[in-house]
Amino acid sequence: FCHGVGRSGFLTAPQPKAPGGSIMYEISNYLARDILRNFGLPNISKAMIVPLCTGMSLSLTLGALRSDIDKNRQNFKNTVVVPQIDHKSLLKSIELMGFETRIIKGKIFGDAVRIPVEDIESRIDENCYAIISATSFFPPREADDIKEISKLAKKEDLVHIVINAYGVQSPEWMRIIRSAIDAGRVDAIIQSTDKNFLTPVGGALIAAPSKETISKISQAYAGRASAAPIVNFLISMLSLGISGYQKLIEEQQQNRKLLAEKLKAIADKIDEKLLDTFNPVAVALTLENLKKDQLYALGGALYNLRVTGPRVYNPKEKKFGTCCENYPTPYIVMNAAIGSKTRDITSAVERFEKAYQQITQR
């Protein structure tokens, strides 16, 4: 099973010398399609697991779908439109394929950061090849208006790729994608296997409404590939099943609610507030009452208490991460992602409160 996958640069082609691995990969891809269909995307036609992270999967997809555009160098479309997502992996994956990135700046709406579709449309010209949209990111950045972007992509004949890195665990985000597929153009949706299916890092699930799109992406892969991420996904899916994964989603929703309740209680104590943003996985809490050196110290104090997930942002020192210019307040983001337990949420919040006390009582 672990011999490898792919043959002569065709990732999903069966290998005569490794029938077991070939059958395993075929089964895994059917499971990948069915898990998405069962949990929010009944309108996809095909899916496959690739032994690449989310960013490299975006590179592969952009390269594969480039064959659909005019390759005459005089008319070569080389610009990818990106509603601002402050994540280096995304930007590097586009640059790797030789495309130019046209970033549409985020704007502040209350506590939330969004990118208006009108701003995206105004920046599209004859050089644009594709548009990237995203469901899941850290607050205050909210999901893109993927339905309207899909209509825009259809109107302008742009390749449209959705980054759904954390999104399978969220029925809300999956509904957004489903409606976008029905309303306009969505070429491919990319999910991380470790963020959604509890596997080790190194795999992604690429799905599409068109079988031909998945075939193109499969044929664009150079060489053969490691079977390890596929084996990990298969083991995870067989051990969980539909009912097991549904239970994990329900636990995640309960934990997200618990996280918000516990952070709200702390916010009331320290005269802060929760940011009013839509995010089914993460919660952000303002840190307006901390000084610059205390903001630096908070991250270290959390690390010393073995809390490694939360991110502390100070927009006055570093804008990257807020997805906009001049976000008005520092904040901390904490996640309640799939796979976490109630005790994990409770422990993390208690340690956050302890870390906060440590740095403010010095």
Q: Please name every residue paired with 131 in a beta bridge, in sequence order, or none if there are none.
A: 81, 160
Residue 200 within any structural domain of the chain: yes
Same domain, 334 and 199: no
Residue 88 within any structural domain of the chain: yes
What is the Cα–Cα distance from 259 to 117, expressed in whole angstroms?
31
What is the Cα–Cα distance from 314 to 331, expressed in whole angstroms?
7
Same domain, 151 and 186: yes
Same domain, 98 and 180: yes
Same domain, 227 and 255: no
Residue 2 within any structural domain of the chain: no
How many domains does the structure of the chain reveal? 2
Q: Between the CA of residue 237 and those of 57, 184, 198, 316, what are the distances in Å?
A: 21, 31, 9, 44
Same domain, 235 and 87: yes
Among 219, 240, 261, residue at a domain's last position:
240
- pLDDT digits 0-9 by tens, 185-227: 999 999 999 999 999 999 999 999 999 999 999 998 887 788 8
Same domain, 163 and 249: no
Same domain, 162 and 228: yes
Residue 11 within any structural domain of the chain: no
Same domain, 228 and 282: no
pLDDT at 181 over 90: yes
Residue 5 within any structural domain of the chain: no
**329-344: b or e for each residue (b if 16 or more CB lie within 10 Å)?**
bbbbbbbbbbebeeeb
Same domain, 128 and 30: yes
- Find the range with the poorest average confidence among 9-18, 158-167, 256-265, 315-324: 9-18
pLDDT classification of 315: cutoffs 50, 70, 90: confident
Residue 12 within any structural domain of the chain: no
Helix, strand, coil share of the chain (percent; to 5): 45, 15, 35
SS3 109: strand
Same domain, 59 and 183: yes
- pLDDT digits 0-9 by tens, 91-146: 999 999 989 999 999 999 999 999 999 999 999 998 999 999 999 889 999 999 99
pLDDT classification of 37: cutoffs 50, 70, 90: very high
Same domain, 66 and 177: yes
We report the CATH number of the domain holding residue 298 as 3.90.1150.10
pLDDT classification of 71: cutoffs 50, 70, 90: low
What is the Cα–Cα distance from 357 to 214, expressed in whole angstroms?
52
Residue 7 within any structural domain of the chain: no
pLDDT number for residue 180: 97
pLDDT number for residue 69: 56
Among 217, 240, 263, residue at a domain's last position:
240
pLDDT classification of 50: cutoffs 50, 70, 90: very high
Same domain, 263 and 217: no
What is the average pLDDT across 230-249? 94
Domain of residue 260: give its range: 243-360
Nearest C-alpha neighbor of 190 from the set 176, 203, 175, 171: 203
Residue 4 within any structural domain of the chain: no
Among 240, 272, 294, residue at a domain's last position:
240
pLDDT number for residue 199: 94
pLDDT at 309 over 90: no
Burial class (CB in 10 A: 0-12, 13-18, 19+), 48: buried
| Mean pLDDT estimate for the chain | 91
We report the CATH number of the domain holding residue 79 as 3.40.640.10
